[in-house]
Amino acid sequence: MTYTMKEACNQTGLSYDTLKFYCNEGLVPFVRRDKNNYRIFSNDDIAWIKSLSCLKNCGMSIVEMKEYLDLCLKGEKTIPKRQEVLKAKLKELQNKVNEIEESIKYIHWKQKFYEDVLSGKTKYYTNLKPYKND
């Protein structure tokens, strides 16, 4: 089965401009063209484009995505290097998750503090105090 640009966008969730950019950057290496010179995508292309979206969501830059693509194109022998790349990205993501969890804890604590102040359970205080010259 083949897909037009519009169909590929629908299949992958990418905007037309993003998919066109990825193609122009060489991130979708084997895209064919029809008799009218329009891009057409295979099921394999669609699967790869979905992988690109995931890599982008993982925080990979275009340069990093190109490096990863290059490794993939070199075949099975590069699997250990690809694992290293993904392991490093996973560590970065886990650190972000930890930061987000800490932020969520803070917001829950602050909301509880505000509820307690508004209900009269806790006296209001602030750490925002003007500096005084003594």
For 45-59, how does the pLDDT look when each residue is reduced to its tens digit (9 = 90+)? 999 999 999 999 999
Q: If you average pLDDT over every residue of the chain, what do you get?
A: 96
Residue ranges per structural domain of the chain: 1-73, 79-122
Name the β-bridge partners of 41.
3
Q: Please write the tens of the pLDDT for every residue from 75-93.
A: 999 999 999 999 999 999 9
Instruction: State in words which class domain 1-73 has.
Output: mainly alpha
pTM of the model: 0.81
Rounded mean pLDDT, 41-45: 97
**Contact partners, residue 71, CB within 8 Å, separation at least 6:** 78, 81, 82, 85
The pair of structure tokens assigned to 10 is 């629908």
More reliable by pLDDT, 101 or 133: 101
pLDDT attached to residue 121: 97
Whether 5 has a pLDDT exceeding 80, the answer reads: yes
Render 71-123 in DSSP notation, one character per residue.
HHHT-GGGHHHHHHHHHHHHHHHHHHHHHHHHHHHHHHHHHHHHHHHHHTSS-
